[in-house]
Structure 1
């Protein structure tokens, strides 16, 4: 979840010269707006006229943008991941906002506040890290506690863990999203283990904290959310299994069977092979964890869809309900009931 600055304030991306994307509405003018280029494509209309189709973003969201009557010189004057100064107007196309660009100019990145261009968790980093430390200290199994402490004692890894999104676009896709996802799962684990006594809570908590640890190396989150070469070639599950094995190997006498059970949670947490799991869950903890992870990621995805819907169509919950577009990754449209107000 992200917080949008007060529309009446002077705060805005870069240097106070533009409006936040989530606050833009049909008919608004954008004057010297500063945005990050997520995508850019040079295209041709049926009438043989050229245009540039883009996605621009700041930390509150992204918007489709069009520069009509374009040429190669304009297209080549900026690139993906560049910061640009934009003048234009907001229109609507097929129920979605669209920024019609009158002019676009590449900016020097040294003059940019990067934190204005990536969404971030509403929760503070220090607050979340303190909560994570408390969870680790609550683990009763000394081997698992030592393993978790070895991860938290790695300063570079801790920086990545506290900044990394949980995903590139689908769920918890914002700075600090991975840590927020981990803490949510730990809360779920305590409730589930309290109900189903056969589950090993310490093992579940370790799985919550380490199941996506490979994302710290899979994802890049400096200027935009993208995949690293290591992430594309190996993937976060494979990376995470190697990281856990390496850390466990540095702890004298770490039990092989305990390591195997933890690695199985990591390897199987996507549930099905066609969804990226290396194995289907085959232990009580792995089965429970898969459903917990699936639930938390799906609920966060719904939050994201709802926020996007509210950005496109303000007042979504007033009066009747509202349908989203069809979401291929969910294989359905989503209905958000109204709040009953007229």
Structure 2
């Protein structure tokens, strides 16, 4: 095929068609008429020798060939956009840009207040729009509608760029007068206690929790399941701030990431202990679309977030170091040396 005879506009049409899976919506997105979009689809089918989109009971469905083409076309258009985009340096002091960041509740509690403080210092006219995982999808990130996703991810699309902000361990937060503290803090005493479950990490709308479905309960309960145990959960919440407030009740334990527990270091009502069993650590990452990789505004935002995460890591290190691998010290003697009262 002579590439010089290929109308590059057709690739733009294909990109939008595969995203919208609807001729009328694709036409509206590009600001052309529906017949013009239908004609474009006809030319695309001739060009690739494939129907690309076929009508099914679920609407327009992409063929196998179209599914293979989608990331390739997106990459080609991204390179073209980068090549023709005017390189204007980002002026933080003058920018009025809105940055949209998806952050898990954990990241929003531990990282975003400091990020906002830095943004207000360096770019006072910039607006920060923080969304929850339930507000967005991977598609929003891929298409650049979302500047950044900050979370713990089991799996990310290969096209995404990503950066690890820190590695996180776990801690147990409880009331200083919790009866469990009258004895050594062992696995047995942990299992005898009542617990607060907190988690909401992935994309999409959340659903109710089934307490019997350990595989869906997350890090803490999966770790217990591996050693043949199950804890008694009295309350389920999706908000770390709520979990920390509930931990002030005299008989509840919240097992949560160390940096979340660290936020309560000045609360005289709470103490922190290392879990008496192994909970694998996780990585907090930020992920973004390849479409934004070379954008000067976005590069500034990424640098700022990384710098703030490094500041948090430095301040947290004296507190957090005692929790890395601390579960290995769990035995009949308990973990009294790892108790972290307010200080």
Rg: which structure is higher? Answer: 2
Normalised TM-score (structure 2): 0.28
